Structure 1
């Protein structure tokens, strides 16, 4: 978050989006149900009214896909607030052995093998569902959204962040924004 001269707090676009989705899901269960289906390409269009009203460019995949993916994850998680858990750490937390789990490592490797944003979002769908079912705390959706939005421009850096989060090393700031 950044602070302007008069002591007021200004949220980033990512923070405003996450807050708006959290609030709308809490207030409107029908909208939350439509957003839960947003990560399926066949039913994604059901989320476009919400995304469009929040200023998301629906025609450009690199703009739309990060927001669709995070909105669906928020709606599925039924989170009441943005969490603090980073994606890499959340993947490790899904298994008893943590980062030593061969299944956790396989999921991370599959994610790290992605080269395009569309592929990352497709691979993330089942991972986010797994995280929601196995981990008792919400993801840092703002951080994930920022990472996905920056993926087309800084793919290697974003993948390195996910690996660092998974293996427990301190994460570096996200390219183009704060952590």
Structure 2
């Protein structure tokens, strides 16, 4: 009975013009706030030992469970959403979100180390493994991450777009510092 209800909810939330990431995040947020059981199953997707408990929920959305480069991004993002329970998707891209976790932003040695480790990933599975604690940090600091974009990035990470995605993450990380510095300078010149 739950699968039938979940499927009808899935069909209602899928927007043909939206990306897979946008559709999944919208679907997951809607279900997380209405169904505690769904949220609990999705939280378990974060642990390789209990991930299988989320498969029914992921399959009802149409996730191909046999392909780890497809399944793992949904697991990592779904679990992060279920743990953070944001009211809506955020707006900060991954690089900017990492920088936003530290007072020094992209000048923080810790932030730089986390970004470098993520940029060193060569497979989707490795990126998802590195992202698990990073997403917990981002959520714990109250940073509003754009989960939709992250999921889309991860779904394309295994293909020819890996370098472009890593470049976008780095650009977002360092651009945030540039934007913050420009804001500070503009504020100082108005004094």
Name the TM tier (shorter chain): 0.7 to 0.9
C-alpha distance in 2 between matches for 1:105 and 1:17: 30
* Conservation of the 8 A alpha-carbon contact between 1:77 and 1:138: no
Alignment partner, residue 25 of structure 1: 32
Q: 1:96 aligns with which of 96, 103, 108?
A: 103
User: RMSD of the alignment, in Å?
Assistant: 1.4
C-alpha distance in 2 between matches for 1:31 and 1:146: 22
Which runs of 5 or more structure 1 residues have no equivalent in the other structure?
1-7, 170-179
SS of the aligned residue for 1:139 comes to: coil
C-alpha distance in 1 between matches for 2:44 and 2:86: 16
Residues 57-66 or 30-39, more deviating: 30-39
1:99-178 residue pairs with structure 2 within 5 A?
A: 99-134=106-141, 136-153=142-159, 154-168=161-175
| Offset of residue 58 of structure 1 | 0.4
Which runs of 5 or more structure 2 residues have no equivalent in the other structure?
1-14, 177-191
Q: If each structure's helix is expressed as a fraction of its own residues, which one has the higher value?
A: 2
| Offset of residue 138 of structure 1 | 2.2
Q: 1:12 aligns with which of 9, 19, 24?
A: 19
Moved over 6 A (4+): none
Q: Whose Rg is larger?
A: 2
Q: Could you tell me the TM-score, scaled by structure 2's length?
A: 0.81
C-alpha distance in 1 between matches for 2:33 and 2:116: 34
Alignment partner, residue 56 of structure 1: 63
* Conservation of the 8 A alpha-carbon contact between 2:95 and 2:115: yes
C-alpha distance in 2 between matches for 1:19 and 1:142: 9
